[in-house]
């Protein structure tokens, strides 16, 4: 799959997720088979660009190409300026957020709220595409609510504006993340545009990935929540799509090393204090549903230093490895 001049190593994409798709996570997913990882969204308001959080979000040092940065906002001029600013900071692809359902984003008429104003959608995309010499992509939902599914019209607007690829989440803004994603609208979008289409929503297994690709005829799969604590899902899906066979679960030792390496990257990227705090959610995601993890997750949230955190993770996985070489799950955790 190509996005402008960029040929992706696979058609598996990491969805942008606030508080999740930082540089350490993007790099990890790329090492495990993702062809592209989209950054956390960067606000278009220039007053926020100099904050510590924004500077960290635009830090792409050592990141594997292509570097895709998502921008969010509702003012065409500010969005164009944000696109230029992020290209100057190293972005090779600019992704426009018109899919976020969060109230704090929609309340300022950004994210998926933009789907209610197709004329503004066109003005924003025209401004962003015209402002930069790198490919522009767009992420949307199927519409505002079940009575207003306008993804096909928005996709046509995007293509006419020069957008080079489109990601569609199979829910409306009103759905949030409730219920099941539907893929018929994504299939309709794919049949009405010639640019690459990425299918997104509830893709959590190799079999589901293949079914969604078959049903929608999409060019790629975009995975979000299913990669939290399971970044090897990209490797699993890639292998299944290529061979029709499932890979065995990763070994306890491999997951331990993967998580410990991830912790070191987080501690280095954020500093020990913030890194320890941010790492807690990742540790919980990696260990959820594993045998004995309920008590472990309570303990890990009390630890305050990076060495304590790493040592506790290693002890937990050593305990798992004494019982089974591969990951296994406890009934109490699966029922939780």
Active-site residue, from 100, 106, 175, 256: 100
Alpha helices in the chain (DSSP H): 23-31, 52-57, 76-88, 103-106, 118-131, 151-161, 184-192, 206-216, 233-243, 252-270, 272-287, 293-300, 306-321, 331-335
User: What are the structural domain ranges in the chain?
Assistant: 2-243, 252-335
pLDDT at 200: 97
pLDDT at 334: 35
pLDDT at 336: 33
Spatial CA neighbour of 275 closest among 91, 50, 49, 56: 56
pTM: 0.91
Query: pLDDT tens, position by position, for the chain (336 residues)?
Result: 999 999 999 999 999 999 999 999 999 999 999 999 999 988 888 888 878 888 888 889 999 999 999 999 999 999 999 999 999 999 999 999 998 766 666 555 567 789 989 999 999 999 999 999 999 999 999 998 888 899 999 999 999 999 999 999 999 878 888 889 999 999 999 999 999 999 999 999 999 999 999 999 999 999 999 999 999 999 999 999 999 999 999 999 999 999 999 999 999 999 999 999 999 999 999 998 888 888 898 899 999 999 999 999 999 999 887 656 556 544 333 333
100 is catalytic: yes
CA 132 to chain centre: 23
pLDDT at 95: 97
- Residues whose CB is less than 8 angstroms from the CB of residue 103 and which lie 6 or more positions away in sequence, other chains included: none
CATH architecture of 2-243: Alpha-Beta Barrel (3.20)
252-335 has CATH 3.40.190 classification: no
């Amino acid at each position: 799959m190509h996005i402008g001049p960029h040929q992706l190593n696979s058609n598996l994409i990491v969805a942008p997720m606030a508080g999740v798709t930082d540089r350490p996570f993007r790099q990890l997913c790329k090492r495990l088979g993702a062809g592209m990882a989209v950054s956390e969204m960067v606000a278009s308001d220039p007053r926020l660009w100099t904050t510590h959080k924004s500077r960290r979000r635009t830090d792409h040092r050592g990141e594997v190409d292509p570097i895709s940065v998502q921008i969010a906002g509702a003012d065409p001029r500010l969005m164009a300026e944000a696109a230029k600013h992020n290209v100057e900071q190293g972005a090779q692809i600019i992704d426009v957020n018109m899919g976020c359902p969060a109230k704090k984003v929609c309340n300022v008429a950004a994210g998926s709220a933009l789907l209610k104003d197709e004329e503004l959608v066109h003005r924003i995309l025209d401004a962003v595409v015209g402002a930069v010499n790198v490919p522009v992509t767009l992420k949307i939902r199927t519409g505002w609510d079940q009575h207003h599914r306008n993804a096909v019209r928005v996709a046509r607007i995007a293509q006419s504006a020069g957008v080079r690829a489109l990601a569609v989440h199979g829910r409306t803004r009103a759905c949030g993340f409730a219920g099941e994603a539907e893929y018929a609208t994504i299939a309709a979008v794919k049949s009405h545009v010639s640019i690459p289409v990425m299918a997104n929503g509830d893709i959590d297994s190799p079999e589901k990935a293949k079914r969604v690709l078959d049903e929608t005829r999409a060019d790629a799969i975009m995975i979000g929540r299913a990669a939290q604590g399971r970044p090897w899902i990209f490797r699993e899906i890639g292998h299944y799509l290529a061979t029709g066979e499932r890979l065995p679960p990763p070994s306890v030792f491999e997951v331990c090393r993967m998580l410990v390496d991830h912790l070191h990257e987080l501690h280095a990227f954020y500093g020990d204090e913030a890194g320890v705090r941010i790492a807690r959610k990742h540790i919980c995601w990696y260990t959820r549903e594993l045998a004995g993890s309920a008590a472990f997750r309570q303990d890990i949230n009390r630890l305050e230093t990076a060495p304590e955190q790493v040592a506790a993770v290693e002890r937990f996985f050593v305990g798992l490895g004494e019982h089974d070489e591969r990951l296994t799950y406890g009934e109490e955790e699966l029922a939780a």
